[in-house]
Amino acid sequence: MIVISKKESCTGCTACYSVCPKHAITMVADSEGFKYPFVDATLCIDCGVCDNTCPIKRRDKREESKVTPVAYAAHYSSNERVWYESASGGAFTAITDYIYKRRGIVYGAAFNDAMEVVHDSADNPSDAVRFRDSKYVQSDLRDTFLRVKNDLTKSKLVLFSGTPCQVAGLKGFLKKDFENLLTVDLICHSVPSPSVFQDYINYIQKKYGKRIVRICFKDKTLGWDKFQTPRIYFDDGTDIFNVDDSKLWALLFYSYLVVRPSCHACRFSNLVREGDITIGDFWGVEKLCPEYNVPNGASLMLLNSDKGKKSFDDISSNLRFSLANAKEALPNTLLYTTTPNPQRQKFWEEYNRSNFISVVNKYLEIGPYYERKRLIRKLFNVPFRLVKYIIK
């Protein structure tokens, strides 16, 4: 039966939970808010199916040298609003158009009413709008794999989109290749903790005295290539944008203090992709494809399998695209794993016995105390480490 000896070796993909014939496994959140399988030994018959399904244990030795990716720069060209609302160029919506033309069903990550990020399905384009935009939180798959299998066995065309470890989990669970399944993986360097995200939501809601109804993590008002530009929408119709509170989550994410341990040992940051198609941001597109004008962003699309390549002919009818030099286009986030913050352990020790904003301010060195510290250092040219004695 599955035993998690090191947190780095479990992505929380739910494959073992979904496959267990005795329903002996539940996914339980740890003190950092990430879910791991927990086996009820009284129900387990020691059949070993969970171990054989786990993509981390099954994953064959990488053979990157044999992979020649086909890469495109692309953006959604049939509707400017779709392009603007998407995290990068809107390649994802072009793929969903292809699925809906064939009366298929799409699985992706969306916010629920409690502002949790969960995987869900949508059988029409208006419902699939929920999946648009990157949500910088690990999404909860719950029973998604069982639902996907159910749809596949009814011969529906299914698109499953998610992080590479989620796609690997689904494929491990399904065990066989379904002709009617198309998979899309994201270029993803890490996913942050769902419970810290809930603490952030609660902090903002309390401070502003309003309920958050939506967050757009990649608002393009200042341009698609600007960092830290989430917009937070409240239930009274107002929103906050480009202020410290709305930028805070992006700062915390990129500090690598609160990302899943498996992301720091990721088996999927390489060219052997899990999805038939990979989508990500095409940074530097203006240099590699100068003919390409992208005020609202560009998607990098990698076609990884015959299925991905064949479907691209139809998918591309709603795209403007250019073939790119794959070797030059691949970002570091696809090729290398993310290094953990050296303060990670200390951060969590304090986080679990203190309140959200004081610990976050301390480790990100933001807030009034650090602003005063920086001011004193500037005025008197005092070394940063000594300033604390002056303003204590």
Ligand X SMILES: Cc1cc2nc3c(=O)[nH]c(=O)nc-3n(C[C@H](O)[C@H](O)[C@H](O)COP(=O)(O)OP(=O)(O)OC[C@H]3O[C@@H](n4cnc5c(N)ncnc54)[C@H](O)[C@@H]3O)c2cc1C
The sheet that has 181-186: what strands, in order across it? Answer: 117-122, 105-111, 158-162, 181-186, 277-281, 299-303, 70-76, 319-324
Q: Interface with ligand SF4 includes 280 (CB under 6 A)?
A: no
The least CB distance from residue 170 to ligand SF4, in Å, is 10
Cα 224 from Cα 282, distance rounded (Å): 11
At residue 103, the 3 state secondary structure works out as coil
# chain residues binding ligand SF4, by CB under 6 A: 38
Choice between 195 and 361, CB closer to ligand X: 195
Look up residue 10 and give its DSSP letter: -
- In 3D space, the residue among 154, 220, 25, 88 whose CA is nearest the CA of residue 231 turns out to be 220
Joined tokens for residue 123? 């059988």
The partner in contact with residue 299, picked from ligand X, ligand SF4, none with C-beta cut-offs of 5 to 8 angstroms by kind, is ligand X
Q: Interface with ligand X includes 165 (CB under 6 A)?
A: no
Q: Interface with ligand X includes 259 (CB under 6 A)?
A: no
- In 3D space, the residue among 174, 172, 168 whose CA is nearest the CA of residue 152 turns out to be 174
- In 3D space, the residue among 270, 268, 216 whose CA is nearest the CA of residue 239 turns out to be 216
Choice between 48 and 295, CB closer to ligand X: 295
The partner in contact with residue 139, picked from ligand SF4, ligand X, none with C-beta cut-offs of 5 to 8 angstroms by kind, is ligand X
Would you give the end-to-end CA distance of the chain in angstroms?
53
List 18, 56, 135, 224, residue binding ligand X (CB under 6 A): 135
List 1, 73, 137, 232, residue binding ligand X (CB under 6 A): 137
List 32, 50, 94, 120, residue binding ligand SF4 (CB under 6 A): 50
Q: Interface with ligand X includes 139 (CB under 6 A)?
A: yes
Cα 33 from Cα 322, distance rounded (Å): 41
- Using CB under 6 A, which residues numbered 289 to 318 contact ligand X? 299
Q: Interface with ligand SF4 includes 95 (CB under 6 A)?
A: no
List 89, 104, 164, 275, residue binding ligand SF4 (CB under 6 A): 164
The stretch among 21-29, 77-85, 152-160, 201-209 that binds ligand SF4 (CB under 6 A) is 21-29
Joined tokens for residue 310? 């064949």
Contact 352, 257 (CB under 8 A): no
Cα 302 from Cα 179, distance rounded (Å): 20
Choice between 89 and 308, CB closer to ligand X: 89
List 7, 22, 59, 132, residue binding ligand X (CB under 6 A): 132
The partner in contact with residue 158, picked from ligand X, ligand SF4, none with C-beta cut-offs of 5 to 8 angstroms by kind, is none
Largest separation between any pair of C-alpha atoms in the chain: 72
At residue 92, the 3 state secondary structure works out as helix
Q: Interface with ligand X includes 252 (CB under 6 A)?
A: no
List 32, 33, 34, 39, residue binding ligand SF4 (CB under 6 A): 39
The residue ranges that bind ligand X (CB under 6 A) are 86-93, 108-109, 117, 131-137, 139, 161-163, 186-189, 191, 279-281, 299, 331, 333
